[in-house]
Amino acid sequence: MRSKLSNSSAERTRRPARDVIDAVLENMQKNLEPLKYSILAPSRYLIYLHPAEYARLEGIIAILQEQTIRALSEEVAARNRRSILRRCTRRILGDRKLCIENPSGEWSVEFLSDPDGDIPEGDILVDSELLLPANAELGIGERTRLVRTVHSGQQTTGSVAQIVYDDDTGHHSYDVRGSVTIGRGGAAFPVDIKIVSSVDVSREHARIRRDSQTGAFFLIDLSALGTTLNGRHVPRGYEEVDGIKQENGTETLLPDQARIGLADTVYLNFCRVR
């Protein structure tokens, strides 16, 4: 879940640090995920700043992080606080106000200097994710799930496939409901499954596409160093024309169970659930 706060050319001077906190709060408010009995708030936030802006704030990053976490907690508490009138209305009319929850129990906030030079000075780019708690019984670490909301006239169902993988941050799983993009990501490269690994894995390394008519899944290679399916390289899904990457429509059918390799560095286990 991504949001961007920009300065106009007339305002492109120095932003007060509180604007960064406000940008995180705005991202949280826009990306709340309503469920039947509660509302989930994104738990992890990556805030990208122009290198000059990051250098200016670097000495107070710890304080900025602390106050951002405090602001998130206060915003959730304020939204969950019920007035006396609402409580009375609830008793009389059965009105139920859903509470906002942080599914991981704590906030993760990280400030980063834009590594790609894509963010103009004065702009703020915020990425957020739902962070699921560690499962002690399974002995695995934290798992992240990027929530994508799709509005459709058809009734939605649960996940139809799952991807399980390990990278430099631990063990992860991702429920697949539609098409997903996989890679290291970056300020200008939003991905659904973010791989923390060496630069051998491309920022946009591969895409899995689900055909809405047949329900079949297809693998598309978008990388520089290649993608494998059960140990065999799949054909490249793009051509470079005048230095610009253009997809060529080449894709490979995924079996119900598959092992996908990213530059022979990270391996993802794909399993169709239904």
Supply the pLDDT for residue 70. 96
Would you state the structure tokens that stand for residue 256, as one six-digit string? 């119900």
257 pLDDT exceeds 60?
yes
Walk me through the domains of the chain, giving residue ranges and CATH numbers: 1-130 (3.30.2320), 148-274 (2.60.200.20)
Neighbours of 149 (CB within 10 A): 8
Choose between 10 and 101: higher pLDDT.
101
Q: Which of 52, 185, 181, 68 is nearest to 119 (CA)?
A: 52
Q: What is the pLDDT of residues 187-219, one digit of tens each?
A: 778 899 999 999 999 999 999 998 878 889 999
234 pLDDT exceeds 80?
yes
Length of the chain: 274
Neighbours of 136 (CB within 10 A): 7
Let me know the angle formed at the C-alpha of 179 by 245 and 159, rounded to the nearest 5 degrees: 165
Let me know the angle formed at the C-alpha of 216 by 215 and 222, rounded to the nearest 5 degrees: 125
Whole-model pTM over 0.85? no
Neighbours of 21 (CB within 10 A): 20
Supply the pLDDT for residue 3. 64
Would you state the structure tokens that stand for residue 219, as one six-digit string? 């693998």
Supply the pLDDT for residue 208. 95
Burial of 67 (0-12, 13-18, 19+ CB in 10 A): middle
> β-strands 99-101, 38-40: how paired?
parallel
